Structure 1
Amino acid sequence: MSFAGESSGGIAAPTAAISVASPGDYIALLKPRVMSLVIFTALTGLLLAPHPIHPIVGFAALLAIAVGAGASGALNMWYDADIDAVMQRTRRRPIPSGKVTGPEALAFGLTLSALAVFTLGVVANWAAAAMLAFTIFFYVVIYTMWLKRATPQNIVIGGAAGAFPPIVGYIAATGSPSLASLVLFAIIFVWTPPHFWALALVRATDYGRAGIPMLPNVKGPDRTRLEILIYSLVLAPLGVAPYLLGFASPVYGVLSVGLGAVFIGMALRVYRVRSGERADPCAKALFGFSILYLFLLFAELLGERVIALLTGA
């Protein structure tokens, strides 16, 4: 394991001997777009609790979860600096571009991890803090250090890390998980493979250059298209589960059915269009819609819960 601009992958990434980082570079280490999704899904889990949490406690807990997610991103970038340096979409990240050194990113990530876990334990409860610590460990050690470079199932298993925030949020409010929080976990968990594999179809060359065994590079694009379709067929009915289990309204039920049908339709198009100029646009369209799909489902759940809290329903 390297503490500079080189990690176990063995490809040297350029680093600066003296840091020239700006505050914006450290913010980039936190992966703000990923952090925003974590905040959104964790807040949904937090507000699904049967009894409302105190606003100040809830804000502090959400902030701690967000910082923990950012810490995971920084540690991910530290370890992946070698492959980030050779991938088109990541080579301008702070470490491979030489703006932040490997040791600085490592210290930054570890410090934020400890701060986030401790803060969540103090302001909410230690069960939530333990779950947050496990989430960070799972993303950094299980996914980043092991699965990502070892198996084409990296996204399937590693996707659990991105699915844990609703459970962390719910435990922060109640002290223990519930069926509702586990359903939200399941939705994100099953959503992750078709979401990332749609991107991987387009970026297969980039992943191949970095030596990452993504499914299109190992099993081929046709197998990837089939897997996307299978996961989409599982995801669509799973997305309706919050309504069927009684913690979402009929409006959510209708929305989830419609979105699921569109998701399956787009996945079917990706499966059918296997070559030619339309292949990549179909995969890109599914990737973009998958983000909208998850956002709309959680936004509806969140909106319904906010209205219920404001009206006392």
Structure 2
Amino acid sequence: MTEALAARFEEHRPHLRAVAYRMLGSLTEAEDAVQETWLRLARQDPAGIREIRSLAAWLTTVTSRICLDLLNARTARGEQPIDETFVPDPVITPLTSTDPEAEAVRTDSVGLALLIVLETLDPAERVAFVLHDLFAVPFDDIAEIVERTPATTRQLASRARRKVQDATPAPPDPARQRRAVEAFLTAARAGDFDALLTVLDPDVVLRADAGALAHGPAASKLVRGAARVAGQALLFREFAPLGRLALIGGEVGVVHVADGRVRSVMGVSVVDDRIVALHILADPGRLAALRLPEEVVR
């Protein structure tokens, strides 16, 4: 029974991981939430398991409740609102790949800009939005998870949707995004300030998360405006040759690799062929915990 149940659970693991990642913004916490879901399933009485009409719905509900508890715990600890330099864990995949494992990881991908906005939502708003707008779960089912009426749950998702739409522009097609990222890298490598200004939106925002213990020029920071962001790019121009293109959260971005180690990951948001946001994760501890395809690192 246990082996058969485990096999059924594994069929749903990618979906549950995708749900948990979007709710938590942390790959490690998402994996922990999915594992806790399995433990709760395994502890169920066999008769109770047979009464579950839809295992997928049951597992999604349990995972969502676990995530909601974690989000509420963050709030209780005073972790909301998030630090303005915070960058969520990115899902990294090669630009092109026929590797089935890499393709499975790609299903977890979601843009960093969206995850940053989700971090600012009330826990119940986040759960309602993720389940309904991203996974088409009915409001009646979500209402039981967030312990609200269906009407109130609908309002939670609506408020979250407005915040997301206001803060996350639709990404361009990959080819146009890639041209903008390549132009940025070329200008940075050449130390061409004017070329950087051409590819950067006047109101571009650079968010660099180097971890709580970072210090010196690589410290966590939030930089606004094309001139200041271009200046930062020139400050780190020696690292520009180390950059290689990859999909960061499903969008074209940059991974900086030196001596076989990832030094930073940069998500890029592009609108009308100009970069409007750069999301840089340079926290060594968090980078070491990321799942990195060999094709990206080598």
TM-score by length of 1: 0.30
Q: Which has the higher strand share?
A: 2
More helix by share: 1
